[in-house]
Structure 1
Amino acid sequence: MLHNEHIVLTQGTDKLYIAGIDDPWVGKADIAQALLHIPEEACTILLAHEPDFADDFCKLPIDLQLSGHSHGGQVRFPIVGALYTPPHGNKYSSGLYQLPNSQLQVYTTRGIGVTRMPVRFNCRPELTVITLHS
């Protein structure tokens, strides 16, 4: 768990920074604290439970935000999309997004569980494997 902090993964001379913020609803999210002392040009991944906060982070030196929270909407219909998504899980509810005018990409996993409604329709659970390339 990374609560408003980061770690550095090192392989040879390469470094990858993983930052995590607390949940803004039940904790105290502090993105400035999480990114403190990370070099501006570093490759940085942010772990943030709610995906829609990416709009607040798009001008920060973050390359990829990994999120969950929305469960992809759980019930999705063609053309309509998700019937319900929780607050801060609507705009980037499932999949990979490139934020406009920013280096930030957001990936929101549908996860493997459910919330509120114990059902999924047209929104299969997923366990995501991401391969990073320099």
Structure 2
Amino acid sequence: MLTRRKLLKGALLSAPAACAYPVLWEPRWLEVTHTRVPVKTAARQPLRILQLTDLHSSWCVPMSLIEDAITQGLANKPDIVCLTGDFITREDDVDVAAYLPRLRRLAQACPTFAVLGNHDSGTVGPLRAGFSSHLFVERLLEDAGIHLLHNRSQAIDIRGQKWRLAGIGDLWSGEAEPELAFHADPENLPTVLLAHNPDSKEVVQRYRWDLMICGHTHGGQVMVPFDGPRYAPVRDKRFVAGLRAWDTRQVYVSRGVGNLYGVRWMCRPEVTLLEVSHG
């Protein structure tokens, strides 16, 4: 018979498990998402993008999680890899010897491009963290063979289809300079824009691009039932996670791989696969 004492005992036994879940389980429970992104441009061939963002190498994001995200992402055979910032959390919490070979795996598998986040850049905005400058992270990416699109663009050819990749500096760090990234587009190519913060869309509004991919929000990181995300450091709360239309264009915000403070709740870390094609 189910008695009051048994109910109380069950509740007491389950409480530690409930408390442990958002710290020990969910932050390491990767979800691989697959999203088709229709764009207005007349691209003849689709572009398969692996997006990884907010790796946040730190005490609360083990290297095994980053390695697992890379392995699962590359298993889907993307055409390119796009890394949208926050490679680290704090400058004194990075094991370069362990991190570098993981990042190098990406560049060895396929062309890999990156932009910097506020934790990488020595932000001057509302959250001061990371390095006093981004020289260390630049060198890390360079040593890994990753192309840094810091306010610049690059044309690529995938199965005979030309695309333009553009990247801008971090918004919070005051380094977003789209006029440099978009200074020339002689072939009017379909364009994928890398930006760490989805609020960056406002500063690139007058430029021509088809899809912007971002991170920064961690998807909200802690989702409170009937209330929404507890952590969403953006002005425009419509762009916290997933694919949304904006004007005639598309914005995708990944929940990211890592986290801050070692907690996720109802917001699993994400390995993002995007297929961009005419639609």
| TM category, shorter | 0.7 to 0.9
Q: Distance in 2 between matches of 1:6 and 1:127?
A: 24
Aligned match of 1:70 in 217, 230, 253? 217
Instruction: Kindly state the Cα deviation for residue 123 of structure 1 after the two structures are TM-superposed.
Output: 0.4
What does residue 108 of structure 1 align with?
A: 253
Structure 1 residue 50 displacement after superposition: 0.3
SS in 1 for 2:200: helix
> What is the TM-score when the length of structure 2 is the normalising length?
0.43
In the superposition, the TM-score normalised over structure 1's length comes to 0.86
CA 2–42 in structure 1, closer or farther in 2 if over 3 Å, else same = same
* Higher normalized helix content (fraction of residues): 2
Does 1:42 pair with 2:193? no
Moved over 3 A (4+): 87-91
Equivalent residue number for residue 198 of structure 2: 51
**Structure 1 residues 55, 25: closer, same or farther in 2, change over 3 A?**
closer
Q: State how far apart, in whole Å, the 2-side matches of 1:125 and 1:89 are.
A: 21
1:96 aligns with 2:239: no
Q: 176, 182, 191: which is aligned to 1:29?
A: 176
| CA distance in 2: counterparts of 1:96 and 1:111, whole angstroms | 14
2:227 and 2:187 map into 1 onto residues whose CA distance is 39
Note if contact 1:51-1:88 (Cα within 8 Å) is conserved in structure 2. Answer: no
For residues 21 and 92 of structure 1, what CA distance do their matches in structure 2 show? 18
> 1:28 and 1:3, CA in 2 relative to 1: closer, same or farther beyond 3 A?
same
Aligned residues with identical type, % of pairs: 37
Deviation at 1:12, TM superposition (A): 5.9
Q: Is the 8 A contact 2:156 2:162 kept in 1?
A: yes
Which runs of 5 or more residues in structure 1 are unaligned? none
Matched, 1:121 2:121: no
- Work out which of the two has the higher radius of gyration on C-alpha atoms and give 1 or 2: 2
Greater relative contact order (CA < 8 Å, ≥ 6 in sequence): 2
Q: Deviations over 1:90-132 (max 9, x none)?
A: 4411101101xx22211000011102x3200010111000112
What amino acid is aligned across from residue 252 of structure 2 in structure 1? Y
Consecutive unaligned residues of structure 2, counting only runs of 5 or more, are: 1-147
| Alignment CA distance shift 1:78-1:36 (3 Å) | same
- Tell me by how many angstroms 1:83 deviates: 1.3
| RMSD of equivalent CA atoms | 2.0
Corresponding residue number in structure 2 for 1:82: 229
